[in-house]
Amino acid sequence: MKIVYLYPGQGTQVVGMGKDLYEKYEEVRKVYKIAGEALGESVEEITYNLSQEELNETKNTQIAIYVMSMAITELLKKEGITAEMSAGLSLGEYSALTYANAIKLEEGVKIVRKRGILMQNLAPKGNWAMSAIIGLEDEKVKEACTKVDNGFVKAVNYNCPGQVVISGEREAVLKAMEISKELGARKVIELKTSGPFHTEKLIEASKELKKELEKLSFNKLNTEVVKNADGKPYKAGDNMVEILSNHVIKPVMFRKSLETMLDEGADTFIEVGPGKTLSGFAKKVCKEKGVEANVFNIESVETLENVLENIKNN
């Protein structure tokens, strides 16, 4: 069995996520305690007590998802379950790098909190949106964006066969959603995000994030991490500061990341954190490649117990 972890990004957040895990497991509470001490503020307050609208703000979303993901990772570690590879969607790449020990948890919470604040505060003024286009080829989604003659919109996340996320000015995104339907899209869904993420509109946030990343000490990876930039594993000598600062203005090649993992023999995918988005992507990529794999997600006591039962019985 070759286990890989998938770490979610923005859009999967919901108020109270993971609270049953927090209440049941000391390991989870310990991660939240470490995070709170490092930040000087309560991540529990952000995750459990804000309104959904407040939690959807990028500065809050990112830290809440990151800490929940790392808390679940600690539970898996305690149970003797480890992954040979990991990948994360956008924000989730920081979770993967933390799992692989490139970033220590105490430093991870600080840089993720800073990243969220920068991405929210340094996005140019405007009404921004992101949308998932489902059931349309990548090239057709790009075509839909180029056909929008008024406003800024781009294809930014290549998630899995038949799903691409677009990002930009809300009116332009809405128009691209319409055109995508005309071109044959099965469904279009506006996402719970608040900025033109993974486009050049975040260049100022990218520059400021680079300054913060330069303060970090990156450690040698102790497990393989597949990066968003090109869907390939990090290798020795990679400039993580450059890669991660460009991360917010470049497309996410998550489909390629999943294909790389399958090519390297992955047969068990565990999504670690809120939602089932990435496990859904994994199932679609496996189906396209004709590969049978076990796909799980962990976001609650029930889903954790399901994974433990299945993994330990195999």
262: left (phi over 0), alpha (psi -120 to 50) or beta: alpha
Same domain, 78 and 224: yes
Active site (annotated) includes residue 247: no
CB-based contacts of 129: which residues, under 8 Å, 6+ apart?
A: 167, 168, 169, 170, 173, 174, 190, 191, 193
Helices (H), 82-218: 92-99, 105-121, 138-146, 170-182, 203-213
- Examine residue 56 and state whether it is found in any structural domain, yes or no: yes
Active site (annotated) includes residue 167: no
- Mean of the pLDDT values across residues 160-188? 96
Residue found by looking up tokens 């990004």 in the block: 9
Tell me 17's DSSP state.
Answer: T
Range of the domain at 23: 3-122+200-312
The least confident of 163-172, 223-232, 265-274, 304-313 is 304-313
Reply yes or no on whether the pLDDT at 194 is more than 90: no
Same domain, 56 and 168: no
Q: Which residues pair with 298 in a beta bridge?
A: 272
Per-residue pLDDT, 303: 98
Same domain, 215 and 261: yes
Residue found by looking up tokens 């594993």 in the block: 233
Residue found by looking up tokens 């309560």 in the block: 42
Structural domains in the chain (count): 2
- Mean of the pLDDT values across residues 163-169? 96
Reply yes or no on whether the pLDDT at 312 is more than 90: no
In the set 86, 95, 198, 257, the catalytic residue is: 198
Reply yes or no on whether the pLDDT at 193 is more than 80: no
Provide the CB-side half-sphere exposure for 48 (13 A, CA).
Answer: 13
Distance between CA atoms of residues 270 and 4, nearest Å = 6
Same domain, 150 and 228: no
- Taking alpha carbons only, the member of 208, 248, 194 closest to residue 61 is 194
Which pLDDT tens digit goes with each residue over 60-104? 999 999 999 999 999 999 999 999 999 999 999 999 999 999 999
Same domain, 94 and 183: no
- Examine residue 160 and state whether it is found in any structural domain, yes or no: yes
The CATH number covering residue 161 comes to: 3.30.70.250
Same domain, 178 and 237: no
Reply yes or no on whether the pLDDT at 156 is more than 90: yes
Same domain, 163 and 216: no
Per-residue pLDDT, 155: 97
Same domain, 144 and 87: no
Looking at every residue in the chain, the average pLDDT score rounds to 96
Reply yes or no on whether the pLDDT at 313 is more than 80: no
In the set 69, 86, 90, 95, the catalytic residue is: 90
- pTM to 2 decimal places: 0.95
- H-helix or E-strand spanning residue 4: strand 3-7
Which pLDDT tens digit goes with each residue over 135-146? 999 999 999 999
- Mean of the pLDDT values across residues 11-19? 95
Cβ proximity of 151 and 89 under 8 Å: no
The CATH number covering residue 266 comes to: 3.40.366.10
Same domain, 96 and 209: yes
Q: Describe the strand order of the beta sheet including 187-190 as a list of residue ranges.
A: 153-160, 163-169, 128-134, 187-190
